[in-house]
Structure 1
Amino acid sequence: MLKRGHSAYRALFVRYNAESKAQLEKLRNIGISAHIDSGKTTVTERILYYTGRIDEMHEVRGKDGVGAVMDSMELERQRGITIQSAATFVNWKGTDINIIDTPGHVDFTVEVERSLRVLDGAALIVCASGGVQSQTLTVFRQMKRYNVPFVVFINKLDRTGANPEKCINQMRKKLGINTAFMYYNIGLEKEFEALIDIVQNEVVYFHGDNGEDIRREPVPEEFAELRQEKFDELVGCLADVDDEIGELFLMEEVPTNNQLYDSIRRCTVARSFQPILMGSALKNKGVQLLLDACVRFLPQPDQIDNFANQAVPEDSDEEKEALMMSPERSKANPPVMLAFKLEKSKFGQLTYMRMYQGYMKKGQTLVNTRTGKPVKISRLVKMHASDMIDVNEVYAGDIFATFGVDCASGDTFTVNELKHLSMESIHVPKGVVSMSIKPSNKKATQNFLKALVRFANEDPSFTWVFDQESGEYHMTGMGELHLEIYAQRMEREYDCPVEVGQPKVAFRETILPGVVHFDYQHKRQSGGRGQYGRAIGKANINPKSNTENVFNDKLTGTNLSRGYVKPLITGMEEVFSAGPQIGEPVVGISLDIIDGAEHRVDSSEISFQLCGQGCAEQILSRANKAVIEPIMNVEVVYPQEFDDRVNKYLYEKHADIQEFELDNQYKTVYCQVPLNDMFGFTAGLRGCTEGKGEFSMDFSHYDLARDDVIEELAAKYQHKLASESSKKK
């Protein structure tokens, strides 16, 4: 038996990989995802312990002075939350498992997004008392976006208010998934004792100081009826989506255990069924069963189809073709890999990558297909939180990291012969909150700028700009906590204390539905070569997104060369960057360029750039304009005795209540609230509920702002313009 030692485990991992490069069935890439405070990092800490990766377990908040292994950042240990996704690898019963532990807070949702982009499967952790919460829904949508199969682990059965039946009902109703229990609890809260294995018809007990000793016994007579009920429910759910079990069900035959396991695997990989496991990671119960399920039911890399798009020339009528990646761990196929996460380390930029095809060895030169530049991969490492283990080669299916690679998140790397390929990039949510920021000490300005550049490179949901008019830096992110963390990191990591302004909502300007025609001619003659450009077209709302502008080339004939379309769009974008109502970007427009005119001598790119500015101004002067603001999904939980107070408070916050649930003495309200009304919500809710209320929120969509909000914003913008004008005088 392997001794729990870092060096011994490392040796085994290297040896095992060397002996099984072709065995994809012995490899899993999984993520641990959930709503905040559902126990993801605690589950991962137990996984590391039970697989021999660490010698002892520690608490997430680091009360013992150590903290969880995967929360390697000091801020994570202090706050007791995961801020950055962290990768590690383990071996469970002969199967290599690459694991990424992701944040649960909505402000760090891009960390979940890019992790799920490169994973083959996931474990969705659900709190037994909290059930399906706002970020659970967000994670589920992200899994759906990338077609990631997953299993469910209902955690914290020892917690007050634990109710797995409520959890499964919410999953069926809110997530719309086909699911059933594979295990069921004996006892709840303080009485939580063991788990019933529904398929094996056994009770599983967890003994020892850390739950490492597992004992199985036949199900006692008093639980026989309950077990049979859950068994029939499991078979019924599988019969609905699996032909083999469906046929046995119709013939009233009882499937064997192996038939059930095979069916669960088929349906989990196909995302038509999600098995539910349960336990209490903190009490060291049930995590080994989750590991078994990840190996048994989640797909191996060759069971997931991955494609790379083949680029075609811009002036070509050909459609992009998708080339399927070959997942065989073989030197026969050229390497194709995706950079999904950047992070600065003491050795330079650390780039996390997923290999989708072929084989690569240390020292090999590849091409970044976005930039076309060759890149030498001088070092390869496997990550264990912040620790690194050097390896000499990687194969299809591996998740690894490298140094000294100049790239961005979502870049594809391959050999020169395949430089026309690019993997599907990563969905990046738009920031909704901004703050002004400046270094407290002007001498630290250089470090301040280094920090801004680094954080923007690492986190595509964090952006910053320098406002020339106000002379201020502004950073934009997913929420107050998101920006607050970066401000603290500047002081800790760059010795640069900063001053931040009040948070501001990312309002946007837009137009209302209705076709707006434009026909603008730019003409200037002042001796010598002049300027000339004309563009004709129409604009309307973008039906696919009210936060994105789309420019469509609908030119026919030869009146306007296509070479002038790009500067024309550039000019329009310059005007749309600051709208006339409140000075915010104008978005949500679909614009067709239909016709135009050019002059053989006087037309140039600058002419059409100025023409584009005139077109945009013409559109905004003719269109019915509006302002939109971010709307948040908000989930509020509080004792029912404060119902009247909370309802009044939600009314004051202009909440649109979607639904509510009653559970014992507590009420859960699901509503949508403008982000602008959410500032100070924590203090307000505590005041309404004597500190007993809780809430969580995540971004939902952009919608029209109220008239009173627009009037206030417009007044502030006009005051700003007047102030700037007086300064110039």
Structure 2
Amino acid sequence: MTFKEEIQRRRTFGIISHPDAGKTTLTEKLLLFGGAIQEAGAVKNNKIKKTATSDFMEIERQRGISVATSVLAFIYRDKKINILDTPGHKDFAEDTFRTLTAVDSVIVVIDVAKGVEEQTEKLVSVCRMRNIPIIVFINKLDREGKDAFDLLDEVEQKLGLRVTPLSFPIGMGYDFKGIYNIYEKNINLFSGESKKNIEETIAFDSLESSELENVIGENAAATLRDDLELVDGVYPPFDQKAYLEGTLQPVFFGSALNNFGVRELLDCFIDIAPTPKAKMAEERMVESDETALTGFVFKIHANMDPKHRDRLAFVKIVSGTFERNKPYLHVRQGKKLKFSSPNAFFAEKKEIVDISYPGDIVGLHDTGNFKIGDTLTEGEQLNYKGIPSFSPEHFRYINNADPMKSKQLYKGIDQLMDEGVAQLFTLELNGRKVIGTVGALQFEVIQYRLEHEYGAKCSYENFPVFKACWVEAEDPKNDEFKEFKRIKQKFLAQDKQGQTVFLADSQFSLQMTQQKYPSVKLHFTSEFN
């Protein structure tokens, strides 16, 4: 297969949603239909030992939530599909935002009963800013929920999307009989009383056919015809160009837990979804069909295998091919690196790959060379736009609870901070360590992982800070900056990269500082571009 054909057969996408909308279950079922796994884990019942394939950290299994993005790949109808399953919980949104820099399209999962929730709004607004093509999957149709048209209105109003349904439910909850697939013009029916069986599909040339009444009953047939007439009248016809430009969003209905509507979503997705796209670097636009390799690190995960203390840097290939044992330039460090065992992923199962193409995600074993946002090339000085660290909103002193394990503690903190799980600040006044996170649940994850992956125990103390701001001085030698450093000394810290950070203790203090020292710029992300 030629290089261009390899690019054309790749689809790299992320799945995003509010917690509990069924995102991880949908990921499982996509793998199931792709033949990548034989049976799915019952994600919603944590007492069952079969947990979700994509939730491979111990704490995820205990809590029943995803706390880290996982990467899964499989082949379906000769297309290579790369899925990035992201955390839905708002405390882990930073991981999700970074992942969105590595996908070419997204599927947004919405719970039929809860509708559009706050976290979904935030994530979709990021996708819209970047014009990422979006498909909406309305899940859990086997439960009582909102009316289909009400849900479509809510998606349009709350998410600011322009939708067009490509499938439509026949009934809902207890009356749920199946789905009419507008895209393929056929009906999928639930078979069996338990509503657990994979459906049968019946093709209809015309909805006027009297066969429809025989299959779903007179009332349901009349309602379906009315609904589809309304869909035709109200929503624009599907236009692939508008979808790829991010101005039209197709909607599918289904029930991931019951394997319902998932195959239709997958079949349509591989027909319409974008192949790997060009990406803007600081220097120029990089096309996916350029032959020289470029790629960037969007995630680092420590302890994929706790027995071996290994760190993996996840690299999205943007152009060219990534070959095993070939030297590539680490642009930030200015040195050439070779990788003898680059990995492809299937949740925690990894396999060594000899060659990877644009759109693929490669895991590189890392001894500390990489940080999030690093670029790899074949020699060109190229930097993909920085993936920002957001200003934390929760702060605590971190203390060593077991003096015999201080080495393990510092190694653990060091590695977990490189993952971007949280940020470490060292106070300039007394050298005490402060951890800042976007969400409070992160502290629990850090404590758990330090103990179970590094054998180190930590305790926390409250540290009353309103916001962390990165400091940029117009002229570090001028008197105003020197006075700022002297007056604010006890609120200043260094981040892991040695950048100065101002830890404001209140909104008022932040405003007064900005007024009093106009030449000192305060930023809420660590990337100033």
TM bucket normalised to smaller: 0.7 to 0.9
Candidates 107, 110, 121, aligned match of 1:126: 110
Residues 22 and 622 of structure 1, relative CA distance in 2, 3 Å threshold = closer
The answer to whether residue 119 in structure 2 is matched with residue 135 in structure 1 is yes
Distance 2:145 2:464 in 1: 37
Equivalent residue, structure 2, for 1:498: 458
> Which stretch has the larger CA shift, 387-396 or 464-473?
464-473
Alignment correspondent of 2:495: none
Q: 1:433 to 1:168 in 2, by over 3 A?
A: same
- Once residues 426 and 152 of structure 2 are traced to their aligned partners in structure 1, the CA distance between those partners, rounded to angstroms, is 49
1-structure distance, mates of 2:179, 2:14:
24
- The worse-fitting range, judged by mean Cα deviation, of 36-45 and 221-230 is 221-230
In structure 1, the partner of 2:354 is 392
Structure-2 separation of matches of 1:414 and 1:570: 38
The aligned residue for residue 478 of structure 1 is: 438
- Pair 1:586–1:472, CA change in 2 (3 A): closer
1:462 aligns with 2:430: no
Aligned counterpart, 1:230: 228
- Given that residues 549 and 588 in structure 1 are in contact (C-alpha distance below 8 angstroms), is that contact kept between their aligned partners in structure 2? no
**Residue 433 (structure 1) shift:** 0.4
Does the aligned pair in 2 maintain the 1:576–1:587 contact within 8 Å?
no
1:507 positional shift: 4.3
- Who is 1:274 aligned against? 249
1:322-333 matches, within 5 Å, as 322=284, 324-328=285-289, 333=291
In structure 2, relative to structure 1, the CA distance for the partners of 1:152 and 1:571 (3 Å cut) is same
CA contact (8 A) 1:434 1:503 kept: yes
Cα distance between partner residues in 2 of 1:231 and 1:327? 41
- Find 1:191's aligned residue among 172, 175, 195: 175
Give the 3 Å change call, closer, same or farther, for CA 135–347 of structure 1 in structure 2.
Answer: same
Structure ranking higher in helix proportion: 1
CA contact (8 A) 1:342 1:408 kept: yes
Render the CA deviation track for 1:522-559: whole Å, top value 9, x for unaligned.
xxxxxxxxxxxxxxxxxxxxxxxxx665655xxxxxxx
Q: 1:471 to 1:26 in 2, by over 3 A?
A: closer
| Alignment-mate amino acid for residue 101 of structure 1 | D
What TM-score comes out, normalization by structure 1 length?
Answer: 0.62
- Is the contact made by 2:396 and 2:463 (CA closer than 8 Å) also made in structure 1? yes
- DSSP-derived class of the 1:501 partner: strand
In the alignment, is the contact (CA less than 8 A) between 2:465 and 2:506 conserved in 1?
Answer: no
Determine the C-alpha separation between the residues in 1 that align with 2:90 and 2:149: 26
Deviation at 1:159, TM superposition (A): 2.5
CA distance in structure 1 between the aligned counterparts of 2:223 and 2:163, rounded to whole angstroms: 20
Note the residue ranges of structure 2 that are not aligned, 5 or more in a row: 214-218, 493-500, 525-529
**Are 1:167 and 2:151 an aligned pair?**
yes
* Superimposed CA distance per residue, residues 378-420 of structure 1 (whole angstroms, 9 cap, x where no aligned partner): 221101111101111112222111113611101111122x1x2
Q: Structure 1 CA distance, aligned partners of 2:254 and 2:514?
A: 58
1:383 paired to 2:356? no
Deviates more, 1:405-414 or 1:212-221: 212-221
- Among candidates 389, 392, 412, match of residue 431 of structure 1: 392
Structure 1 residue 475 displacement after superposition:
1.0
- Distance apart, 1:117 and its partner CA: 0.2
Distance 1:341 1:572, change over 3 A: farther
1:574 aligns with 2:485: yes
Task: Pick closer, same or farther for the CA change 1:503–1:188 going to 2, 3 Å.
Answer: farther
CA contact (8 A) 1:431 1:478 kept: yes
User: Hey, what's the Cα distance between the residues in 1 that align with 2:263 and 2:10?
Assistant: 17
Aligned to 2:74: 90
Q: Distance in 2 between matches of 1:153 and 1:70?
A: 19
Instruction: State the AA in 2 paired with 1:169.
Output: D
Equivalent residue in structure 2 for 1:441, among 367, 386, 402: 402
Tell whether the 8 Å contact from 2:314 to 2:361 is kept in structure 1 after alignment: yes
User: What SS class does the counterpart of residue 139 from structure 1 fall into?
Assistant: helix
1:477-500: CA deviation from partner (whole Å, max 9, x where unpaired)? 012111111111111111222222
Contact in 2 for aligned 1:129/1:163 (Cα 8 Å): no
Contact 1:34 1:126 in 2 (8 A): yes
Question: Which amino acid in structure 1 is aligned with residue 278 of structure 2?
Answer: D
| Cα contact 2:312–2:363 (8 A) shared by 1 | yes
Matches within 5 A, 1:533-572: 551-552=473-474, 565-568=475-478, 571=482
Tell me the alpha carbon deviations over residues 305-329 of structure 1, each in whole angstroms, 9 at most, x when there is no partner.
312222xxxxxxxxxxx2x22312x
SS in structure 2 opposite 1:422? coil
Q: Is the 8 A contact 2:427 2:490 kept in 1?
A: no
Q: CA deviation at 1:504?
A: 4.3
Q: Label 1:550 to 1:166 Cα distance change in 2 as closer, same or farther (>3 A).
A: farther
* Cα offsets for 1:166-219 (capped at 9, x unmatched): 321111111111102211111212332200123444321254896445322435
Query: Which string of whole-angstrom CA distances, capped at 9 and with x for unpartnered residues, describes residues 417-476 of structure 1?
Result: x1x2111121332110012221221111111111111111011x5112344656743211
Query: Does the aligned pair in 1 maintain the 2:429–2:490 contact within 8 Å?
Result: no
- Which stretch of the first structure deviates more once superposed, 377-386 or 208-217? 208-217
SS of the residue corresponding to residue 373 of structure 2 reads: coil
Q: 1:619 to 1:140 in 2, by over 3 A?
A: closer
Residue of structure 1 in register with 2:297 after alignment:
339
- Which among 16, 21, 28 is matched to residue 11 of structure 2? 28
Retained in 2: the 8 A contact 1:182–1:234? no
Q: Counterpart of 1:47? A: 30
How far apart are 1:47 and its partner, in Å? 1.0
Report percent identity of matched pairs: 24
Larger radius of gyration: 1
What letter is aligned with 2:21?
S
Aligned length: 488
Q: Partners of 2:271 and 2:371 in 1: how far apart?
A: 35
Question: What is the TM-score with the length of structure 2 in the denominator?
Answer: 0.84
From 24, 48, 58, give the equivalent of 1:74: 58
Structure 1 gaps, min length 5: 1-17, 240-259, 311-321, 509-546, 553-564, 590-617, 631-729
Paired residue type of 1:500: Y
In 1, Cα distance between equivalents of 2:487 and 2:35: 56
Aligned equivalent of 1:585: 503
Report the alpha carbon displacement of residue 349 of structure 1 after superposing the two structures with TM: 2.0
Contact 1:206-1:284 within 8 A present in 2 as well: no
Q: Superposition pairs for residues 9-20 of structure 1, below 5 Å?
A: none
The residue identity in structure 2 corresponding to 1:36 is P
- Report if aligned partners of 1:480, 1:503 keep a CA contact under 8 Å in 2: no
Aligned partners of 2:165 and 2:487: how far apart in 1?
Answer: 53
Q: Distance in 1 between matches of 2:516 and 2:389?
A: 33
Amino acid paired to 1:27: R
1:19 and 1:334 mapped to 2: Cα distance? 15
Amino acid at match of 1:306: K
- Distance change (3 Å), C-alpha of 1:131 and 1:578: farther
- Aligned counterparts of 2:487 and 2:278: Cα–Cα separation in 1: 40
User: Residues 493-530 of structure 1: CA distance to partner in whole angstroms, max 9, x if unpaired?
Assistant: 1122222234745347xxxxxxxxxxxxxxxxxxxxxx
Structure 2: distance between partners of 1:213 and 1:501 = 55
**Bigger mean CA deviation after superposition, 220-229 or 60-69:** 220-229
Distance 1:499 1:29, change over 3 A: same
- Supply the distance in 1 between the matched residues of 2:488 and 2:410 (Cα, whole angstroms): 23
Q: Which letter maps to 1:309?
A: E
- Which amino acid in the other structure matches residue 86 of structure 1? S
Larger relative contact order (Cα-Cα within 8 Å, sequence gap ≥ 6): 2
